[in-house]
Amino acid sequence: MTEAAGSPPASCFDGGDLACGELLLRLVAHLKGLAHGTVVRVVATDPAAPIDIPFWCHLTGHVFLGSGEQPDGRPCFDLAISANATATQSGRPWHVEPASAPALHEDDPSITIERF
């Protein structure tokens, strides 16, 4: 594991042993109302968390700062809330809202679209 962010987080979300979907649903609810730039520490023991949390940050635009361990040995993951985060669908944390996803333009020469 890499080191979690050096400064203490402003907020902590303890996801315990929640599986990925439920963990992210509750994390999204936890993030609501927190200011942009707020550092949040997510504590999660689900074996998929080291993959899921960084990927979800990449998907939504939040900044993944790193991972580490709590004093009690549980894994933790630090992220910073982005002002430009992409919203996910209600109840579906792996699906971005169509209105906030980047638009694909078929007339853009840098994009190749193959039809089957």
Distance CA 52, CA 44 (A): 11
Distance CA 72, CA 104 (A): 46
Distance CA 79, CA 85 (A): 12
Range of the domain at 86: 11-96
Provide the 3-class DSSP secondary structure of residue 74.
coil
pLDDT at 97: 79
Residue 32 lies in a domain: yes
Residue 85 lies in a domain: yes
pLDDT at 1: 41
Angle made by CA atoms 101, 99, 63, in degrees to the nearest 5: 45
Q: What is the pLDDT along the chain (116 residues), one digit of tens a residue?
A: 444 545 678 899 999 999 988 999 999 999 998 999 999 999 999 999 999 999 999 999 999 999 999 999 999 999 999 999 988 878 887 778 776 555 554 555 555 555 54
Domain count, the chain: 1
pLDDT at 11: 93
Residue 106 lies in a domain: no
Residue 35 lies in a domain: yes
